[in-house]
A and B are shown apart, each in its own frame.
Chain A
Amino acid sequence: MEGRILLKTDGSRCTQCLNCQLVCSITHAGIFNPGIARLRISASEPQIAFEPECTQCGLCARHCLYGAIIAAKEEG
């Protein structure tokens, strides 16, 4: 059964380390490139937003080092 993760974000914890975008782009596009990741980090006051093509696979949450993206709920 394929699970689905719902991701919650807390921009105030984001340090802009870009790890979420790096793991997203390498996994889904085979290249480290934040510009094509399926989530966006705004620059000054960090806010995290998911692109429509995001499947909520949860890799970004697993690789977030600061608790800014959290896998909140898994649905079966």
Chain B
Amino acid sequence: MNGGYAGQILLIDLFSGSSEKRPLDPKNCRHFIGGFGLNNQLFADLAFAGKDPFSPDNPIIIGAGPLIGTMSPGASRIMATTKYPMTGAVASASGSMTFGAQMKWAGYDHIVVRGQSDRPIYLYIQDETLQVCDASALWGRDILQTTEALWAKHGPCGVIAIGPAGENLVKFSLALVDCTATIGRGGLAAVMGSKRLKAIAVKGTKGIRVADQKGFLKTVDGLYSRANKFPQRENVVEFGIMSGWLPALEREFPHAPEKIQILTNLYGPSVYQKFKKARRACPSCFVADKDVLELKESCGETFNTYPTSFMLIRPLCHYLSQISPEHLLKIFDQLNRQGMDLFTFVKMADLLIKVYEKGGIGEKQTRGLVPKRTYEFFLQLIDLISRRKGIGDLMAEGWNHILDVFGEAAWNEVIIIKGLDTIYDPRVSGLGTMEFEQIVCPRGPTSATSGSPTYLPNAPLDMFSKHAERMGAPREAVARILSTAMKVNMGRLSRYSEDWYAVLSSLGICNRAQNNRFYHIGLCSELYEKATGMEMSPEAMMEAADRSWTLQRLLNAREGFSKKDDLIPDQWFQPLESEGKKLQMMDYFRTRPLSREDLYQTLEDYYQERGWDPTTGYPSRKKLKSLGLPTA
């Protein structure tokens, strides 16, 4: 390998504590790029179908793409591939901060963890050396305490750690990278917990080369120059992700401008400034989206919290009224410390309160608990779930168990696809790619894989063709995307959003809109070639993305997933009551309400655009053959 790639896969067996290093196969690199793509290929090679997510045979594969560890802007995204307990699907979740760069500098593109330890352990990897260390003293401690203990012992290093929720196999637990970046919505932390793996820490001192140093730096400098001239650059430096506060609320409350004003007064950018202590960036990132916030204890002492971004208090404030930003941040801090998914937690708390208030469940089911929309109750519920005590034990098992116990009164109150709660509702924002993708994403609903202009409210039509071309959609596909009565065919466009996500995540580039807007497929190809010295045309890169996404579909087909799991929620066809209004699902441009037929057609168009059979949802033989994937 001439550069970009570190050239090695580290395979760790937790039963024996032994490890093995395998060289990266250049042919696989050309076919799957790295990161997301190669993780899928490794999972196909190393894992058996039909295993329980908590089986020792379920591997955790961490992948760091070929641009990670270099200066390519925002190239710090690692991917964690495993069979996730919330959905039972083989999926990849992304995380950032320093773990990926440290991995690459230590000499590894992928780390595979298999087996199960008989006692709590953590892994410390420094260059060629792997230490399997006793974690008895860390077991039970929260993620921030754990990470800080590892930094105190080993010095600066990349750390993926779990909290008590992961240890206790809470199915919607997640891990944090370096105290602040979430990784693994859907239960990565629980898979780590099942292996008694408290943390993985990695430090690299070897560095990473690129094949064409001069050419690579010239391209990268061009990118930084464009980013520095970006008109909103100053705003991004000052506010980070909070610079997108208003557009995010406009997307969530297009029908209630007064609500946007109220929320902005209570929790908006000026409030953020009062808590902001510093911001942290992932290596080579020009957005610096990770906040360090200062909070006060009740005794008056201050402490730091690392909530990824202040912006993420939005989902919390929707479910808790009249609550101070301090209390919201303390709830968020606890979720992070315990290692729980914020989005799922607030929906579970909301459901519990609603069903209890309607009399659908009583204190027998809540085990004596009286659910309320208060700061104190939310903290209590976090504690119960992370320790699996009382009602928390039921909630830790995930949505299917909750809906079984809560019964009919709960079924219409929450929208679940593939066992995971939805994040976006097309009745509020119209049907964009982010709403549609929740139906088809193998991972279940996520905010990651479906970027497009529909990320913004009221995006103009011409932005869609430019965006599709930037993502690498061929000209004839752009024509198909735009030839529809709904102006933009979200099913067809979603295919290219997924492929673009696969390109970025395979290279290691952050797909946040604030970062990925500076990239296009030609630039990705150029950076890859200069970093690795290997040829990869934009078309070949798009084909590798298609191959990787299709392989992910195959991996889940062998787990029993099919078209029946790409569920169009019934609730989307019922009016949603919000802020005194009744909202109907409409197309993104709000020209008309959408029917079931519209959604079925969008789904069929998506399958067709992917080259999958619209009647079964499986990749066709022809498609598999063209991608060189197994047809049997």
* A residues adjacent to B (C-beta < 8 A): 12, 15-19, 22-23, 25-27, 29-36, 43, 46, 63, 65-67
Contacts and interface: CB of A to CB of B under 8 A. Distances in A.
B71 A33 contact: no
A26 B216 CA distance: 11
Interface in B102-140: 105
Interface of B: 69-71, 101, 105, 151, 156, 205-210, 213, 217, 224, 227-228, 237, 278-286, 288
A43 B279 CA distance: 13
Contacts of A12: 278
Contact of A31 (B208, B280, B285): B208
A25 B71 CA distance: 11
Nearest to A25: B207
Contacts of B224: 63, 65
Contacts of A35: 105, 205, 207
Main secondary structure of the interface of B (DSSP, over half): loop
Contacts of B282: 17
Given A43-B151, A43-B156, A65-B224, A30 B71 contact: no
B237 A33 contact: no
A67 B288 CA distance: 13
Contacts of B285: 15, 17
A16 B280 contact: yes
A19 to B, nearest CB: 6
Nearest to B105: A33
B206 A33 contact: yes
A44 B217 CA distance: 29
Contacts of A15: 278-281, 285, 288
Contacts of A36: 207
A17 B279 contact: no
Contacts of A43: 151, 156
B217 A18 contact: no
A22 B227 CA distance: 18
B71 A22 contact: yes
A31 B284 contact: no
Contacts of B280: 15-16
Given A26-B217, A35-B205, A19 B105 contact: no
A23 to B, nearest CB: 6
A33 B205 contact: yes
B237 A66 contact: yes
B213 A30 contact: yes
A17 B206 contact: no
Contacts of A29: 207
Nearest to A19: B284
Contact of B283 (A17, A27, A67): A17
Contacts of B208: 31-33
Contacts of B151: 43
Contacts of A33: 105, 205-208
B284 A22 contact: yes
A66 B288 contact: yes
A72 B371 CA distance: 59
B207 A18 contact: no
B205 A32 contact: no
B78 to A, nearest CB: 16
A39 B210 CA distance: 21
A22 B55 CA distance: 40
A30 B210 CA distance: 9
A33 B227 CA distance: 23
Nearest to A17: B281
9 contacts: A16-B280, A17-B286, A18-B283, A23-B217, A26-B210, A32-B69, A33-B206, A66-B237, A66-B288
- A25, A31, A46, A67 interface centre (most CB from chain B within 10 Å): A31
Contacts of A31: 207-209
Nearest to A16: B280
Contacts of A34: 105
- A15, A46, A66 interface centre (most CB from chain B within 10 Å): A15
Contacts of A46: 278
- B237, B280, B283 interface centre (most CB from chain A within 10 Å): B283
A28 to B, nearest CB: 12
Contacts of A63: 71, 224
Q: Which 8 pairs show the lowest CB-CB distances between chains A and B? A: A33-B207, A17-B281, A15-B281, A31-B207, A15-B288, A65-B286, A22-B71, A18-B283
Contacts of A25: 207
Nearest to B203: A35
Contacts of B210: 26, 32
Contact of B71 (A16, A32, A66, A67): A32
Contacts of A18: 101, 283-284
Contacts of A19: 71, 283-284
Nearest to A45: B278
Contacts of B207: 25, 29, 31-33, 35-36
A17 B284 contact: yes
- B71, B217, B227, B285 interface centre (most CB from chain A within 10 Å): B71
A25 B70 CA distance: 11
Nearest to A33: B207
A33 to B, nearest CB: 3
B205 A30 contact: no
Contacts of A26: 71, 210, 213, 217
Contacts of B227: 65
A70 to B, nearest CB: 14
A49 to B, nearest CB: 15
